[in-house]
Structure 1
Amino acid sequence: MKLAIDAMGGDHAPQEIVKGAIQAAKTYSDLKITLVGDQTKIEPMLNSHPQFEILHTTEKIEATDSPVKAVRKKKDASMVLAIHAVKEGRADAAISAGNTGALMAAGLFGVGRIKGIDRPALAPTFPTVKKNEGFLFLDVGSNMDAKPEHLLQYAIMGSIYTEKVLNKPKPRIGLLNVGEEPGKGNELSKAAYSLLKDAPLNFVGNVESRELLQGAADVVVCDGFSGNLVLKAIEGSAMSFFSLIKEELTSSFFSKVLAGLLYPKLKGIKNTMDYAAYGGACLFGLAAPVIKAHGSSNAHATYTTIQQARLLVEKNVVNTIEETILEKRDQWAK
């Protein structure tokens, strides 16, 4: 299996990206990895590892760059070259922790969309309070102005991925909404509810945002605007919560003693809610596997994202989505 990884994308590149890739190479002897980026920075960390090759470039897309303009202007950027490696058949999947919008643009320009998918979706797996379980959430920012048909397509893609990769038969599909009752929400929500209800999916109805981390559904769909708001709210709440706990447990000698006693439990909670354990966000709807790793990915997050990419390729998820869409789209849209 061959993967192309943007070694220069993310807050901790290239050090943490390369470390995670090395860890994955040690685990999977069949894995061949192309690291795209500055060879002078990458090569000293590899020690001539036989499973790696470096595609040298000093150009990269910054987090502050305008996505479409950057992809068109910076044709030798590490992210763009990683996508091209997939397009040209030199890699089975691409990974980047860089600019999200640019990665989506590079994917659309490079490998294109799956036939039958109108708009790709950015889909991370979120943790829940149940250990080793999570839910797929799409879209979280790729398509701000969605149509009901787009949400149906998201549900189809999410259902296939959850069943094939996450090994959950008949995954529960939920629609993010302001209330559980049918008929709630705006016109988009109401129309999407009707489509999802009539589709051959395990649709469990509307899901409120407060129920997400409780595991109310295995796949939750919404427009990218709403999804991004929820994503940022959850991330911000989690950071604030753990910051507050840390502040309280280090405020006095007694608190520090108590913190020492509670450390194993607190660590368990942190691990349960750790994004790094679930890999990156898949760009569903593209004609080849492309994964957006978290911008602050460390070595472990990079490693789990590589595991995720392997599963996408091994389970032939992209082709399965395309075949299902083409075969069933008329039936599902009725």
Structure 2
Amino acid sequence: MGGDRDAETVLAGVTIALAHRPDTSFLLFGDSEEITPLLEKFPTLKAVSEVHHCDVAIDMDMKPSQALRHGRKTSSMWQAIDAVNTGKADGAVSAGNTGALMAMSKVILKTLNGIERPAIAAIWPTMKGETVLLDMGATIGGSAEQYFQFAVMGDAYARIIFGLESPRICLLNIGVEEMKGTDSVKQAAELLTASSLNFCGYVEGDGIFQGGVDVVVTDGFTGNVALKTAEGVAKMMSAYLKQVLRSSVFARIGYLFARGGIGALRERMNPDNANGGMFLGLNGVVVKSHGGASPEGIASAVELAIEVAANKMSDKIAVELDEMEEELLASQE
């Protein structure tokens, strides 16, 4: 029940998700003295929820190592993830500390066989729809094998979320020419070319939003920089638009005629619609919501967890990894 907003915001979001997925029940981990009275405002959620009291909460600025020492077994974050590990829950969603959530998830759930490091996958809007980008912050740098693993995980994720038979996969690079990029990126391209994945080469930063690719693979440092840059540009464009529309009487009159289109643009760019960073490569489902998400954003993250758990994504990634490993071994013989 952590995050930058209060528990009522989280409960409101879970209630929205419940309305869309009425066959779902919930385990709520946190301060029962705070949560239980608030549930009275959400009777439909109360009817399908269990509140598990936790005395310890992980602060948003706490380092992962500190979180592991301070919150092992006792914190709400730990207990929520452990519920997935023990089979009491099909997935965990948190708006709390990202580093702590990843650290605890790795310790409790552990990575799938064949996965060196988990990755955080996010869904980005494009001019033609949406695309998956990973990693968004779980790693710094990476080997060719790790990029390959990210591609396999991204492929499975895109199949589930977008319903695609053969997602188009690209490596994020500083150019589309074969000779460009770091050694690990070029080596990853060779591995992907030799696989049965639908590898389409390199894509530059400006190509992400054109919609010509379904999965973009990069390391967590680069992916997080790209994410924050995109968010900053979106905020700047929104501020520019407001300034222009308020600049004169004629501009305000023009807004009256264009507000329908502007409203549609605002809805399409609303980050709440794609809220939820999926932790890929773990033996279980964990979704990270933005800490400051609105109820609608929380609902998006919860529904993502429900969808992925229902489709048994971890199992599908494991199967695909085994198939890719057999292909690579065969190609080397």
User: What TM bracket, shorter-length normalisation?
Assistant: over 0.9
Matching of residue 51 in structure 1 with residue 44 in structure 2: no
Equivalent residues of 2:124, 2:132 under 8 A apart = yes
1:328 deviation in Å? 2.9
Quick one: percent identity of the two aligned structures?
33
Counterpart-to-counterpart distance in 2, 1:328 and 1:129 = 31
Amino acid at match of 1:17: V
- 2:8, 2:191 → 1: CA distance? 46
TM-score, structure 2 as length reference: 0.93
Distance in 2, matches of 1:297 and 1:102, equals 18
1:79 aligns with 2:77: yes
Aligned equivalent of 2:243: 247
Matches within 5 A, 1:302-313: 302-313=298-309
Does residue 1:188 correspond to 2:181, yes or no?
no
Q: SS of the counterpart of 1:98?
A: coil
Distance 2:145 2:6 in 1: 38
Given that 1:128 and 1:134 are in contact with CA atoms closer than 8 Å, whether structure 2 keeps it comes out as yes
| Correspondence for 2:322 | 326
**Separation in 2 of the partners of 1:43 and 1:13?**
14
Check conservation: 2:195, 2:324, Cα contact below 8 A: no
1:33 is aligned to 2:26: yes
Whether 1:120 aligns to 2:113 is no
Secondary structure in structure 1 of the residue aligned to 2:3: coil
Q: Secondary structure at the residue paired with 1:124?
A: strand
Aligned partners of 1:225 and 1:254: how far apart in 2?
45
Please say if 1:65 is aligned against 2:62: yes
SS for the counterpart of 1:282 is strand
SS at match of 1:184: coil
- Count of aligned pairs between the two proteins: 325
Q: Which amino acid counterpart does residue 95 of structure 2 have in structure 1?
A: A
Give the TM-score taking structure 1 as reference length.
0.93
Runs of 4+ in structure 1 over 6 Å off: none
What is the deviation of 1:58? 4.0
Partner SS, residue 217 of structure 1? coil
- Point out where structure 1 has 5 or more consecutive residues left out of the alignment: 1-6
Which amino acid is 1:167 matched to? G
Q: 1:12 aligns with which of 1, 5, 16?
A: 5
> 1:174-194 CA distances to partner (integer Å, 9 max, x unpaired)?
110011111211212211111
CA shift in 2, pair 1:328/1:190, >3 Å: closer
| 3-state SS of paired residue (1:320) | helix
Mapped to 2, the partners of 1:201 and 1:295 lie a distance apart of: 34
Aligned letter for 1:201? Answer: L
Gaps of 5+ in 2: none
1:216 Cα offset (Å): 2.3
**Residue identity matched to 2:13:** G
Q: 2:120 is aligned with what amino acid?
A: L
Q: Which amino acid aligns with 2:97?
A: N
